[in-house]
Amino acid sequence: MNQMIPDFLLAQSTKGKTQGILKALVLNVDVEGFTALTQELMRHSQAGGKVIADTINSVFFPAMEATETKVGFLGRISGDTFTAVFPENQLIQTVSAAIAIRDTVMNHSRQTSAWGKFKLEARMGIGLGNVEWQIVKGRNQPRYWFSGDAVSEAKKAQTKANSNQIVASKVLCEESEAIVASDLDTDFQIVNELALPGSDRNQTMPVQESNTGQYHPGCGEFSEIQDMQERALGDKHPFTLNVLNQLAEYHWEKGDRELALQYYQTAARKLKQISPPEYPYLSVSLCGIGHYYYDKADYENALEYYLCALLPENSPLELKYFYDLDALSQISSIYLKQGKRFEAMVFCNKELALISASVGDDHIANAGSLVNLGNIFLGMGKPQKAMKSLNKALKLRKAHLGDEHILTREVYELVLQIKAQMNCHKVAMNY
């Protein structure tokens, strides 16, 4: 649950795949009452925030982790709902995860605070079928979607569930004698318990290439999301305001940079008014504005916004890794363009330190930063240090991408060029 992007999608992305179809089971979970709790307690600054954090730690984290311990992965998290995906032959594990989530929510259903009592209820649905997935590289953060008949069936089943109920189609429930269920209507049943322990936990998901085209949520869908968020949380809630960032990114990808800038500026202005500030979402807004000026070659303005986009030093490491990397890379690039190589090196090293602390020195994410550092050293007239950084990058890309990948070849050719220049320099010195 610590991954911002599911492990399954990260694995596919490493293979160069950005979309596909898999046959899978989908569990849709809606924890009702959490939105009301959040809306009320957000008014009470740090004290209210602590109660929210305690609720997340006692209810949401265990609920989400239940999917991963049952060989599933989180497909989508939105407000007080999340979707989990499981291998198609892991029905017992899917039901087992749903039961674990139900029991966790029931054990913490009564939330008491100084500002009132709140009741949490879980409503869940399970579906089976095709799941279409797609990864889209956003300007600030990658986005991904899941759709398909399994997702639709799980949502339909979830809407039929009452308080702390798990609902699945009668056909699905009848696939295993271990599932103890009772009739809800002619097509759906309420899953009560499992009569047998779970099955093999080591199955993997088959992946098929998608031939169904690409799926992009349209502007209308974002507006619908924003309307729902406003009705549930109010127009000043950070979740609601972050939809403005998503709208900005949507229009950026469509090529309407001016409209994207307007959305980023509106989001930034409103997010700055929140007390305490919702730094991660504000960082997205400021970074987006920085990108606008960077593309206009207005590097001074871009630099100002990128520097403001960096999260406070005491922010959690996982947030800094997710939100700061893009800004750090752009800051280093701007300083290099301005001939300020020392400043460029400082921010490039900050980027490398953040990657190392978050995912380790052997992660492929280090490679791009090492290449940038090599170029900085070249500009400083230090080819030996440049070679050291570039060789590290080359080793990482060979290990993760292979010898023939275009990014590996790019570093390899740069290394050869530097070696040739160093050899020519040695020859010239001998004369």
- DSSP 8-state symbol, 317: H
User: What's residue 79's pLDDT?
Assistant: 55
* Among candidate residues 297, 294, 314, 317, the one with its CA nearest the CA of residue 306: 294
Closest residue by Cα to residue 94 from 33, 153, 182, 145:
153
Strand pairing partners for 126? Answer: 27, 168
| Distance of alpha carbon 309 from alpha carbon 421, whole angstroms | 39
Q: How many CA atoms lie within 13 A of 356 on its CB side?
A: 9
Q: What integer pLDDT is reported at residue 307 of this predicted model?
A: 94
Those residues whose C-beta lies under 8 Å from the C-beta of residue 3, and which sit 6 or more positions away, are 10, 74
Work out the end-to-end distance of the chain between its first and last CA atoms, rounded to an integer number of angstroms. 63
SS3 of residue 164 by DSSP: coil
Q: In the prediction, which pLDDT does 17 show?
A: 74
Report the pLDDT value the prediction gives residue 237, as an integer from 0 to 100: 67
pLDDT tens-digit profile of 140-184?
Answer: 555 677 888 899 999 999 999 998 899 999 999 988 888 888 999
Q: How far apart are CA 234 and CA 330, in angstroms?
A: 34
Cβ–Cβ under 8 Å, residues 78 and 34: no
DSSP string spanning 264-313?
HHHHHHHHHTSSS--HHHHHHHHHHHHHHHHHTT-HHHHHHHHHHHSPPT
**Any idea which residue has 């190392």 for tokens?**
356
Asked whether the beta carbons of 379 and 341 are under 8 A apart, the reply is yes
Instruction: Classify domain 219-430 by CATH number.
Output: 1.25.40.10
Angle between helices 279-295 and 257-272 (to 10 degrees): 150
Query: How far apart, in whole angstroms, are the C-alpha atoms of residue 181 and residue 176?
Result: 11
Residues 308, 322: Cα–Cα separation, whole Å: 16
- Write the DSSP symbol of residue 208: B
Contact 262, 237 (CB under 8 A): no
Amino acid letter, residue 111: Q
By the 8 A CB rule, do 408 and 398 touch?
Answer: yes
Give CATH 1.25.40.10 domain extents, the chain.
Answer: 219-430
Superfamily covering domain 7-194:
Nucleotide cyclase, GGDEF domain (3.30.70.1230)
The pair of structure tokens assigned to 403 is 């010898």
The reported pLDDT for the residue numbered 5 is 58
**Nearest Cα residue to 106 out of 163, 158, 174:** 163
Structure tokens at 139: 């300007």
Rounded CA separation 344/334 (Å): 8
Token pair for residue 173?
């429930």
Q: Tokens at residue 137, please? A: 């590289």
CA gyration radius for the chain? 25
Cis peptide before 197 (omega within 30 of 0): no
Q: How far apart are CA 43 and CA 13, in angstroms?
A: 40
Domain with CATH 3.30.70.1230 in the chain: 7-194
Q: Which two tokens stand for residue 138?
A: 């956003």
pLDDT at residue 111 in the model? 55
Backbone angles phi, psi at 195, to 5 degrees: -90, -15
**pLDDT tens digits in sequence order for the chain, 431 residues long:** 334 456 676 667 667 677 888 888 999 888 876 655 555 545 544 444 445 555 555 555 555 555 554 456 766 665 567 788 888 888 888 888 888 888 878 876 665 555 556 677 888 999 999 988 877 655 555 567 788 889 999 999 999 999 889 999 999 998 888 888 899 988 999 998 887 544 433 333 343 333 333 333 444 444 444 444 444 445 566 766 777 887 888 788 778 899 889 989 998 988 888 755 545 788 889 999 999 999 999 999 999 999 999 988 877 776 777 778 889 989 999 998 999 999 999 999 999 998 888 878 888 888 888 988 988 988 888 888 889 999 999 998 888 888 888 888 888 888 888 888 776 555 344 43
Give residue for tokens 């060989």. 71
CA distance 317 to 309: 15
* pTM for the full predicted model: 0.50
pLDDT for residue 243:
75
Q: What is the 3-state secondary structure (H, E, C) of 9-58?
A: HHHHHHCCCCEEEEEEEEEEEEEECHHHHHHHHHHHHHHHHHHHHHHHHH
Q: Is the separation of the CB atoms in 337 and 298 below 8 Å? A: no
What does the pLDDT read at residue 276?
57
